[in-house]
Amino acid sequence: MFGRRKKKDAAEGAAGEAEQVVDSVDTEADDEGARERVRLEPEPRPDGPWDSTEVREPGEGRVDLGGLFVPGVDGMELRVEVAGDAIVAATVVLRDSAVQLQAFAAPKREGIWGEVREEIGSGITQQGGIVDEVEGPLGWELRAQVPVQLPDGTGGFQVVRFVGVDGPRWFLRGVISGQGAVQPQAAGLLEQIFRDTVVARGDGPMAPRDPIVLKLPNDAQMVPEGVQQEEGSRFSGGMGQLQRGPEITEVR
């Protein structure tokens, strides 16, 4: 049986339909805004990290790793990590905190940090972790609780911060762990190391997201560890796919 709707009901129905149309438009606009956000051109970097063309002497006060020049500070340990036969990441350990540095090739006029953040966040969430996207001292970053297995075999969480900056044809990602992640206000020196890092991508052709390969410094003091880590995404924060390699201790 069909009945005639009263004018009031009809008006309310029309209003509801209008709201649905507006909501649909808003959703499409939000989706389009998100797509535009991840494809933005790299922003200016007045405080670094730097491209090798922007620094007169990149090796001055920094450890020369080929694709990266990492600032040296008193008491730090510098560990390099390998994938296969290639050195692809460096980790600066400073007291009870650390920052892992890894550089990747990127499109000339298109930043990838927004897209990478979404991938990292999605991966951690699927593992049962927790991710918050916040604007920190280094720009937009992810503060995450990543599921890990504790030494006693039980499950737990590791707190890490994922930071990143898009440069000219490269992207530099940092993963801060330890007290610098638990208490971000205590990470000032690690953040400064990240800012003052110099990326030397080179002029050769590279596919976007290919890691920029590093090398050992000539005067490295080698302390091999050889700890194999589990497989994972190369954007997962260095907690997968990379094998712990030589440790370089910088004493300054």
Token duo for residue 70: 């990492």
Of 190 and 84, the structure prediction assigns the larger pLDDT to: 190
33-79 confidence digits (pLDDT tens): 444 455 566 667 778 899 999 999 999 999 999 999 999 998 899 99
pTM exceeding 0.85 = no
90-131 confidence digits (pLDDT tens): 999 998 999 999 999 999 888 899 999 999 999 999 999 999
Token duo for residue 10: 């009809």
CA gap 136, 36 in Å, rounded: 21
Residue that the structure tokens 């298109």 belong to: 110
Residue 243: per-residue pLDDT: 36
CA gap 166, 114 in Å, rounded: 9
pLDDT band, very low/low/confident/very high, at 185 (cuts 50, 70, 90): confident
Cis peptide before 217 (omega within 30 of 0): no
- Class for domain 50-249, per CATH? alpha beta
Other CB atoms closer than 10 Å to residue 64's CB: what's the count? 18
The DSSP code sequence of 75-112 is T-EEEEEEETTEEEEEEEEETTEEEEEEEEE--TT---
